[in-house]
């Protein structure tokens, strides 16, 4: 496992979000539908995560007390430091939502400026904020001024290749008090196609004076993270889909950074135990019926990474109640992986990109 690892990076200062010093420079990227409390808990228990953020949360829904929205910000003492990502296009609502979160003890607030989905951009939020420089900078300023806790922004490189505005925004945001920016190295128009533009992220790093820039996109192993850190000069790396495929990735990265080597990711049995623990945490939050249906998406990633046979994956996805769920898990445990050994490192899974137009993630 360790023989092909790149040399660890030179020691560098820890990442600080204002007064909040992060325990590691490797962050969990928000993934709507996945980065809920149960997943954040298991990733944190494995170790190495500097900060975990909720899925994007509608500022208006939060203020209206929508039960679905409130569930997104559910947390627990181990889920720390805890950042909530909000979206919206109204400076007043966004500031009020930020205040509400501060009162609830959230550690930092992230503003979503990267979401490409039509439903969000049509309402003037997400990536479309990159098309309205003046309004956007003043919205961000009003959120920063509304709270004492650190405010960060997550954005793409720009709307399209002709409008790579992230360096401009990062510079402006730093001036109004934003403490860090995370950059997904693609444009809105690109969706998830093509490759991440590391040079584009580098230009954001060069545009700011001192705030940390977090590089994001397509990091699924140590070599990718090393490349992101070296080529862009970013202070930290945030990882989304790579963490679904390998929840051990943050611990591996910290071990590599500190020692040049790292433990392997979990084997088949470790992953099965993790799946069960994550599901148990979900059951603590919601009804049996809803937990089973919510867990299908996450189960897909677990079972693919565990090399479970298509027939048993199908059985798992068809579970309607806890009894079906337990039966499927028993059969999966009995059969083991289709390739690789159950106690060794499993072959890497293919990491899918959300398909079709940016509308469908």
Ligand X SMILES: Cc1cc2nc3c(=O)[nH]c(=O)nc-3n(C[C@H](O)[C@H](O)[C@H](O)COP(=O)(O)O)c2cc1C
From 76, 115, 131, 318, active-site residue: 115
Q: Is 56 in the site for ligand X (CB under 6 A)?
A: yes
Q: Is 58 in the site for ligand X (CB under 6 A)?
A: no
Please say which residue, 34 or 256, places its beta carbon nearer to ligand X.
34
Q: Least separation, in Å, of the C-beta of 117 and ligand X?
A: 9
Q: Is 32 in the site for ligand X (CB under 6 A)?
A: yes
Q: Least separation, in Å, of the C-beta of 196 and ligand X?
A: 8
List binders of ligand X among 220-239 (CB under 6 A). 239
Specify whether 115 is catalytic.
yes
Please say which residue, 245 or 306, places its beta carbon nearer to ligand X.
245
Distance CA(258)–CA(265), nearest Å, equals 17
* CB 101 within 8 Å of CB 84: yes
Q: Is 154 in the site for ligand X (CB under 6 A)?
A: yes
Please say which residue, 85 or 232, places its beta carbon nearer to ligand X.
85
Query: Quick one: which of 40, 184, 202, 313 contacts ligand X (CB under 6 A)?
Result: 184
Distance CA(342)–CA(307), nearest Å, equals 10
Distance CA(277)–CA(204), nearest Å, equals 39
**Which helix (H) or strand (E) is 58 found in, with range?**
strand 52-58
DSSP for 231-300, written as a single string: HH--SEEEESHHHHH-TTHHHHHHHHHHHS--PPPP-HHHHHHHHHHHHHHHHHHS-HHHHHHHHHHHHH
What number of chain residues touch ligand X (CB under 6 A)?
23
Strand partners, 28: 52, 239
Q: Least separation, in Å, of the C-beta of 335 and ligand X?
A: 28
Sign of CA dihedral 185, 228, 213, 111: positive
Phi/psi at 32 (nearest 5 deg)? -55, 130
N-to-C CA span, the chain: 32
Q: Is 218 in the site for ligand X (CB under 6 A)?
A: yes
Q: Is 168 in the site for ligand X (CB under 6 A)?
A: no
Q: Least separation, in Å, of the C-beta of 78 and ligand X?
A: 22
Q: Is 349 in the site for ligand X (CB under 6 A)?
A: no
Q: Is 152 in the site for ligand X (CB under 6 A)?
A: no
Q: Is 36 in the site for ligand X (CB under 6 A)?
A: no
Q: Least separation, in Å, of the C-beta of 119 and ligand X?
A: 12
List binders of ligand X among 81-100 (CB under 6 A). 85
Please say which residue, 83 or 137, places its beta carbon nearer to ligand X.
83
- For ligand X, which residue has the nearest CB? 240
**Which helix (H) or strand (E) is 20 found in, with range?**
strand 20-21
Contact segment (CB under 6 A) with ligand X among 7-15, 216-224, 273-281, 282-290 equals 216-224
Which residues are within 8 A (CB) of 274 and not within 5 positions of it... i.e. 6 or more apart? 42, 247, 266, 302
* CB 259 within 8 Å of CB 9: no
Query: Quick one: which of 89, 112, 190, 278 contacts ligand X (CB under 6 A)?
Result: 112
Nearest of 328, 235, 230 to residue 279 by alpha carbon: 328
Q: Is 251 in the site for ligand X (CB under 6 A)?
A: no
Please list the active-site residues: 115
Residues that bind ligand X (CB under 6 A): 29-33, 55-56, 85, 112, 114-115, 154, 184, 216-219, 239-242, 354, 361
């Amino acid at each position: 496992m360790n023989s092909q690892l790149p040399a660890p990076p030179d020691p560098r200062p820890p990442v600080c979000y204002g007064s909040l010093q992060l325990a590691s420079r490797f962050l969990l990227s928000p993934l709507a539908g996945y980065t809920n409390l149960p997943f954040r808990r298991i990733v944190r228990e494995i170790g190495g995560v500097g900060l975990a953020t909720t899925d994007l949360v509608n500022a208006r829904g939060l203020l209206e007390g929508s039960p679905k929205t409130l569930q997104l910000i559910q947390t627990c003492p181990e889920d720390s430091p805890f950042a909530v990502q909000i979206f919206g296009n109204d400076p007043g609502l966004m500031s009020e939502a930020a205040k509400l979160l501060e009162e609830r003890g959230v550690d930092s607030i992230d503003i979503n400026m990267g979401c490409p989905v039509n439903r969000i951009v049509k309402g003037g939020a997400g990536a479309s904020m990159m098309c309205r420089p003046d309004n956007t900078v003043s919205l961000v300023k009003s959120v920063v001024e509304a709270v004492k806790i650190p405010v960060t922004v997550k954005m793409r490189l720009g709307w399209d290749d002709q409008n790579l505005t992230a360096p401009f925004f990062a510079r402006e945001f730093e001036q109004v008090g934003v403490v860090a920016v995370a950059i997904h190295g693609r444009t809105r128009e690109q969706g998830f196609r093509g490759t991440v533009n590391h040079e584009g992220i580098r230009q954001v790093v060069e545009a700011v004076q001192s705030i940390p820039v977090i590089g994001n996109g397509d990091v699924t192993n140590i070599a990718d993270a090393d490349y992101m850190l070296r080529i862009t000069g970013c202070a930290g790396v945030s990882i989304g889909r790579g963490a679904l495929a390998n929840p051990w990735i943050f611990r591996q990265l910290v071990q590599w950074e500190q020692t040049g080597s790292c433990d392997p990711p979990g084997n088949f049995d470790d992953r099965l135990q993790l799946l069960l623990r994550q599901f148990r945490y979900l059951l603590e939050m919601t009804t049996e019926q809803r937990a089973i249906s919510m867990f299908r998406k996450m189960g897909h990633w677990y079972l693919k990474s565990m090399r479970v046979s298509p027939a048993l994956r199908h059985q798992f996805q068809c579970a309607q109640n806890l009894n079906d769920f337990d039966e499927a898990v028993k059969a999966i445990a009995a059969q083991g992986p289709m390739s690789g050994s159950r106690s060794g490192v499993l072959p890497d899974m293919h990491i899918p990109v959300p398909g079709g137009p940016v509308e469908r993630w």
